A and B are shown apart, each in its own frame.
Chain A
Amino acid sequence: AMVHAFLIHTLRAPHAEDSGFCRVLYSCIFGTEKSPDDPRPHGAERDRLLRKEQILAVARQVESMCQLQQQASGRPPMDQPQSSDEPVPLHEAPRGAFRLAAGDPFQEPRTVVWLGVLSLGFALVLDAHENLLLAEGTLRLLARLLLDHLRLLAPGANLLLRADRIEGILTRFLPHGQLLFLNEQFVQALEKEFSAAWPR
């Protein structure tokens, strides 16, 4: 089961008065679609630009889906946790999936699975026919690990300058975009390895 990209982005409250923009805070594309044959110079740069824009397009769609879901279910915008010790109930976090048609924005049709926690959106871009149960579980696991190991619940937390930790988690739990069938004990073992390399 293959993942094309993983991204973390901001989730603004619906009807945010001070609009601002949806920002991609982290993204990782695992291997890429074949670049179109482009004889013009600076093809590589254009390629990179395209990829960044594709990721931003996904982030925006996820944000919009999440906002609509929150509105429809009458939840307050992005629940704030009571304290930084309380575990965030990920099983009840807003989540969903939608399809991206071919060309819009990726060459191939793809499926996006997303999860909203606090004011962050986590999303996996998958091939069109994937094991969505596994993808959903993996996304929840990644969100839990990132919340824990980056201590995102603490005030003043940020992940923009902690990319090394995010990379460390991804190389273990989603290596090269491979979804892994990890039972709880495999997860524990990997987490121990990670903590050894990244002491808190």
Chain B
Amino acid sequence: MFTAGAESLLRQAREVQDEELRKFCSRISALLQEEDLGPDALDSLRRLFLIVSATKYNRRLEKTCVDLLQSTLCLPVCSEPLQVLCAAILREMSPSDSLSMSCDCTQNTWQLSLVASVLLAQGNRRDEVRTVAQHILRALESRQPEGPSLRHLLPIVSKVVGLSPGILQEDHTTLLSKRLIDWLRYASIQQGLPHSSGFFSASRARQPGPITEVDGAVATDFFTVLSMGHHFTEDQWLNMQAFSMLRAWLLHGSPEGLGAPDTDDKSELEGSTLSVISATSATSRLLPPRERLREVAFEYCQRLIEQSTRRALRKGDSELQKACLVEAVLVLDVLCRQDPSFLYRTISCLKALHGRLSGDPASVRVLLPLAHFFLTHGEAAAVDSEAIYQHLFTRVPAELFHSPLLAFEFIQFCRDNLHLFGGNLSILKLTFPNLFKFLAWNSPPLTSEFVELLPALVDSGTALEMLHSLLDLPCLTAALDLQLRLWPAASERPLWDTSLRIPSCLEAFRDPQFQGLFQHLLRPKASGTIERLAPLYQLLQPMASCARVAQCAEAVPTLLHMFFSAVTQVTSGSLTNQLALLLLERSDSLYQVPQYEACVHRVLSSQFLVLCKLRPSLVVELARDLLEFLGSVSSIHSRASMVTSVVWAVGEYLSVTCDRRCTVEQINKFFEALEALLFEVTQSRPTTLPRCPPQVVTVLMTTLTKLASRSQDLIPRVSLLLSKMRTLAQSPASSCSQDEEGAEAIRTRATELLNLLKMPSVAQFVFTPSMEVCSPRYHRDVNTALPLALRMVTRLMEKEAGLLPG
């Protein structure tokens, strides 16, 4: 709707030539110098804004024009739209060395705010942040003039301390803290007068009433952001702004910077859970400003928590209540970190809050900062954190996985608090099936989060179960979709794709025959058992191409890589073997999402080799299973990469040097199996099926040769085989260039191998180097580098035999 019109306007703005722009600037300068700044000026400035902002490259504006923009900003009387545009244009130009703005020329706090926004956009190249800070504080400290003026300044203070924590000096922060205390705690509890009440209005008839709570009742205590009135007084506005910036101020406002906890006299209290010092409001007035501010902040948060129990009349206020709860918990967390004596009072209050909220699905997002609080301070406060996590991790993901913002916050909570879980980390690890639900439903935004989180969840006890779950993630997505469709409607708009009609899948979901499998898939915690979900793949086939499932499938390969890099750190001998077997088994048993199988095979085949490299003896130990795998490969095309890896691993690691238990019999058995496989893939040449990938043929040939070099009775057999292969690859079977390349590769490889076999001892050296020779510097040693050796031998053979045979 917007694209076409916007596209053309943006292009026009970008294509304005320098000369045109110069003329335009002159026109604007003329307009701005007039007495009356009318709609023409406004219109021109709007266009100028577009021209400047439409391009990422600099636009040179005439100096007079820029100067006039700056001076218009500081005119005593000027319409707001004009001044706001001037500031916006100057800000869009920034950072710029040609601006020379100063706060001195501003007439009031409104203009000061606009100028500050331009100065803060300069990137602090000339210490603008400090300059702005000084001006703002000076304005705050001066006698308060009439009108809503200080309102414009507090947000700048907040921004400034956010950009440069600790930039303010002690006396400034003390002064501002005192004023914040006034605004937060002692704002008026009467409603304000409407602006329209003039000098002669009958003010007695219009006596404003008291402020009310969100549910309409008369306010019971001091003013907060959850207090209502038809009109607000100036200090009530400042109350709202003061709370909005409170957390930033507590953290960054102090000159020591970063809200460092107080000095030693408080340290005795850290250990004690029962603090005797619960400051009453009488004694607290004697506290220094920083401590007093903390006390006031504490009272404000408590009041907000109390106010949140009321039922708001308007939906917007109800949502604000929750945002206030989150903020209150965050502020209390800061307070307790800065001054542990708050802990005693806070814990009881928050425990009660948690109890109240855990049953309310609408308040679930408040539970996360609460859980963070208990995690951070739980030890000092002897809170039963385990019960809290159980609820959070067991029920919330299972019921609310479909909410995108909750999903993001939940996973962020896990990521950010890993270091705090301590002994409870095992709880987190066991709930990975539930956590995966967030990922399965919302994969695009959460994939990168899970990549960071996964290593912490990997555990040798649950590794196999987790790998199965990862491979079945797209299946989980489908199951969650079905689950949602069958739940009673929670919102007006369905959360699933209504264009997708899948009656057979819904039936399967309800079928008691498959209950067990679906329940296993949707389990909230690691069960310690493995279920083969193969029957479900067929049943859920109609859903395999739906968008959400496909998005999830795209995320899986990345996660598999992360999983393996994490699991190889903690794996033991037997686990490595089990993982390898799992890879082989699952390569044939996957939910058939388009392109999923191919991508997963790539990962599984490379990870199989990683496992083999980690533990070379697994080839010997799992010989029987590998033989079975090789014998059962029915359709080579779907598992080409897996077969290639397994065959290569056999060639590489099935030797006495890798494991003393390797017998000649094993080598012979594998030889036979591989020989049979090679015949199978090369003999079957139906014209309709695609040819076998040449890599499979070459790796088979190479491995067979390697095995022959270790069991030299096999050499004649393999030589025969290789010559046959070479002949086979020569026949011009197709005109396809890819096939020709493949055939060429097979011919070359066959030749190289044949040549090597003519010198069996060299072949043995080349294919089964001893351990010393396998050491890392091997490839750097010119005399022993394998590829060079191979090449050298081939060249020697060529020289001897004259032309290459064939």
Which single member of B50, B53, B225, B244 contacts A183 (CB below 8 Å)? B225
A157 to B13, CA, bound (A): 18
For residue B173, CB closer than 8 A to chain A, the reply is no
Q: Measured between C-beta atoms, what is the minimum distance from B623 to chain A in Å?
A: 45
Contact with B along A119-142 (1 / 0, CB 8 A): 110000001010111101100000
A178 to B46, CA, bound (A): 25
Contacts of A136 in B (CB 8 A): 405
For residue A97, CB closer than 8 A to chain B, the reply is yes
Evaluate contact between B46 and A162: CB separation under 8 angstroms. Answer: yes
Contacts of A30 in B (CB 8 A): 117, 120, 159
Binds A, one of B94-102, B563-571, B581-589, B741-749: B94-102
Evaluate contact between A132 and B496: CB separation under 8 angstroms. Answer: no
Evaluate contact between A31 and B323: CB separation under 8 angstroms. Answer: no
Contacts of B129 in A (CB 8 A): 31
Contact with A along B227-243 (1 / 0, CB 8 A): 11111100000001101
Contacts of B88 in A (CB 8 A): 28, 163-164, 167
Q: Measured between C-beta atoms, what is the minimum distance from A190 to chain B in Å?
A: 10
B contact residues, range = 35 or more
A111 to B366, CA, bound (A): 18
**Which residues 157-180 in A have Cβ within 8 Å of B in the complex?**
157-158, 160-165, 167-168, 171, 175-180
Q: Which A residue's beta carbon lies closest to that of B89?
A: A163
Q: Which A residue's beta carbon lies closest to that of B402?
A: A73
Q: Measured between C-beta atoms, what is the minimum distance from B41 to chain A in Å?
A: 11
- Classify the interface of chain B: helix, strand, loop or mixed: helix
Which single member of A20, A45, A72, A162 contacts B547 (CB below 8 Å)? A72
For residue B324, CB closer than 8 A to chain A, the reply is yes
For residue B715, CB closer than 8 A to chain A, the reply is no
Interface centre among A49, A98, A198 (most CB of B within 10 A): A98
Binds A, one of B78-86, B178-186, B572-580: B78-86
Contacts of B499 in A (CB 8 A): 74
For residue B664, CB closer than 8 A to chain A, the reply is no
Evaluate contact between B316 and A133: CB separation under 8 angstroms. Answer: no
Q: Which A residue's beta carbon lies closest to that of B441?
A: A72
A113 to B498, CA, bound (A): 26
Q: Measured between C-beta atoms, what is the minimum distance from B157 to chain A in Å?
A: 9
Which single member of B7, B46, B163, B327 contacts A161 (CB below 8 Å)? B46
A113 to B323, CA, bound (A): 15
A47 to B93, CA, bound (A): 11
Interface centre among A118, A185, A197 (most CB of B within 10 A): A185
A2 to B449, CA, bound (A): 23
For residue B6, CB closer than 8 A to chain A, the reply is yes
Evaluate contact between A32 and B120: CB separation under 8 angstroms. Answer: yes
Evaluate contact between B121 and A181: CB separation under 8 angstroms. Answer: no
Evaluate contact between A198 and B2: CB separation under 8 angstroms. Answer: no
For residue B264, CB closer than 8 A to chain A, the reply is no
**Which residues 6-29 in B have Cβ within 8 Å of A in the complex?**
6-7, 9-10, 13
Evaluate contact between A163 and B495: CB separation under 8 angstroms. Answer: no
Evaluate contact between A97 and B445: CB separation under 8 angstroms. Answer: yes
For residue A86, CB closer than 8 A to chain B, the reply is no
Evaluate contact between B85 and A164: CB separation under 8 angstroms. Answer: yes
Which single member of B3, B245, B500 contacts A12 (CB below 8 Å)? B3
Contacts of A198 in B (CB 8 A): 80-81
Evaluate contact between A197 and B81: CB separation under 8 angstroms. Answer: yes
Q: Which B residue's beta carbon lies closest to that of A56?
A: B56
**Which residues 535-560 in B have Cβ within 8 Å of A in the complex?**
546-548, 551
Evaluate contact between B323 and A96: CB separation under 8 angstroms. Answer: no
For residue B47, CB closer than 8 A to chain A, the reply is yes
Evaluate contact between A20 and B3: CB separation under 8 angstroms. Answer: yes
Given A119-B1, A168-B80: A137 in contact with B320 (beta carbons within 8 A): yes
Chain A to chain B: the 10 pairs with minimum beta-carbon distance, closest first: A74-B497, A52-B56, A35-B123, A178-B155, A72-B548, A181-B225, A98-B445, A71-B547, A31-B120, A175-B155
Known: A137-B320, A157-B2; 8 extra A-B contacts, CB below 8 A, are: A2-B248, A30-B117, A92-B493, A164-B82, A167-B84, A181-B323, A182-B320, A183-B214
- Between-chain CB contacts (< 8 Å), 10 pairs: A48-B56, A53-B56, A72-B497, A73-B497, A133-B366, A160-B9, A163-B85, A177-B155, A184-B314, A185-B229
Residues of A within 8 A of B (CB): 1-2, 10, 12, 20, 23, 25-35, 43-45, 47-49, 52-53, 56, 64-65, 68-69, 71-74, 78, 80, 92, 95-99, 101, 111, 113, 118-120, 127, 129, 131-134, 136-137, 156-158, 160-165, 167-168, 171, 175-187, 189, 197-198
